Amino acid sequence: MIGREQRKNNIEQNKISIQRKRVLSALASYIADLYNPQLPILPERIADIIGISYNYGNYEDYFDGMLEHSNGGFHIYLNVDKAPSNSPRSRFTFAHELGHYFINEHRQALELGLAPSHQSFTNFQSENIVELEADYFASCLLMPEDRFRADCLGKKFSPQLIKELMDRYQVSASAFLLRYTFIENVPVMVICSKGNKIAWKWESDDFEFKYIKSLSRSIPSISATAEFYAKGIEYIDPQNLYAEDWFNYISHEPNTFGIKEYCIYAKRYNMVLTVIWY
């Protein structure tokens, strides 16, 4: 196992240099164009073509996915206890494992026996560089740069765009938003919360506000997200708020800087993915 993932409260994609991101994105695009010119990208299809075997099984909490090297061949295990086969999360995990195969340094570590197998967790919270690289590769493989850019061209960031492209690329909201903010440079913050507590957040480099108005990781009380936890209200459309409703230390006069808050609800899990932009 190459460094099991350590959990952290923040996404730190910034740990991968811009140069390295370009290399990984180009590699992923090349593979997507070569093996899967149509959308959506099918990791199973790519594995079939290059001769990597795989199976879906019940592995409880042990891992999301695992790439194993034995007898000169590679095998990918996918855990249906974490995500049903072909769900956005399972597809991402599959693409992540393919990353460990296609990224030379990762594959060589397995081939040289430095790591007999590689267990992965797909939750966007790793701080291990090998995991981050595989995650980044996975997002670039499922959303190849040129096609993704063309689909975003001239379209405003909106719930409709999120839904349309999640559907087209068969990816989760988190995966889509990470890719979108990197490609389009829209100032966006994404907050994942559960039971009114912030589980993790990340923001694009140019997002102006860094400090959420939060006590012990709670959601700010004047917000659409807080209304869901307090009263079960689910808004279909983005809500208009002011920066000071969500953030501390802002350099604007009160009631002058408008922000938009859009919630993607997972009622079953008492979770919300909150997207804030302006």
Could you tell me which residues are beta bridge partners of residue 191? Answer: 201, 274
Residue whose CB is less far from Zn ion, 1 or 49: 1
Selected binder of Zn ion within 31, 46, 78, 134 (CB under 5 A): 134
Selected binder of Zn ion within 25, 120, 170, 174 (CB under 5 A): 120
- Nearest CA to 271 out of 160, 154, 174 is that of 174
Q: How far is the CB of 120 from Zn ion (least distance, A)?
A: 3
Q: Which residue is nearest to Zn ion (CB)?
A: 120
- 223 lies in the binding site for Zn ion (CB under 5 A): no
- Whether residue 238 is preceded by a cis peptide bond, meaning omega within 30 degrees of 0, is no
Q: How far is the CB of 96 from Zn ion (least distance, A)?
A: 5
Question: How many amino acids of this chain bind Zn ion (CB under 5 A)?
Answer: 3
User: Token digits for 122?
Assistant: 């797909």
What are the C-alpha distances in Å from 49 to residues 10, 45, 218, 268? Answer: 36, 6, 48, 38
Site string for Zn ion, 15-44 (x = CB under 5 A): ------------------------------
Which helix H or strand E contains 67, and what residues bound it? strand 65-70
Residue whose CB is less far from Zn ion, 110 or 134: 134
Stretch that binds Zn ion, among 8-16, 118-126, 196-204, 236-244 (CB under 5 A): 118-126
CB 14: neighbour CB atoms within 10 A? Answer: 12
* DSSP per position, 107-165: HHHHHTTSSSEEEE--SS----HHHHHHHHHHHHHHS-HHHHHHHHTTPPP-HHHHHHH
CB 32 within 8 A of CB 41: yes
User: Token digits for 140?
Assistant: 């670039």
Q: How far is the CB of 210 from Zn ion (least distance, A)?
A: 29
What are the C-alpha distances in Å from 148 to residues 71, 111, 142, 184? Answer: 38, 33, 10, 10
Stretch that binds Zn ion, among 117-125, 207-215, 251-259, 263-271 (CB under 5 A): 117-125
Residue whose CB is less far from Zn ion, 4 or 252: 4
Residue whose CB is less far from Zn ion, 2 or 259: 2
Residue whose CB is less far from Zn ion, 82 or 213: 82
Residue owning tokens 């790439």: 67
Q: How far is the CB of 170 from Zn ion (least distance, A)?
A: 20
Residue whose CB is less far from Zn ion, 131 or 244: 131
Q: How far is the CB of 74 from Zn ion (least distance, A)?
A: 13
Residues that bind Zn ion (CB under 5 A): 120, 131, 134
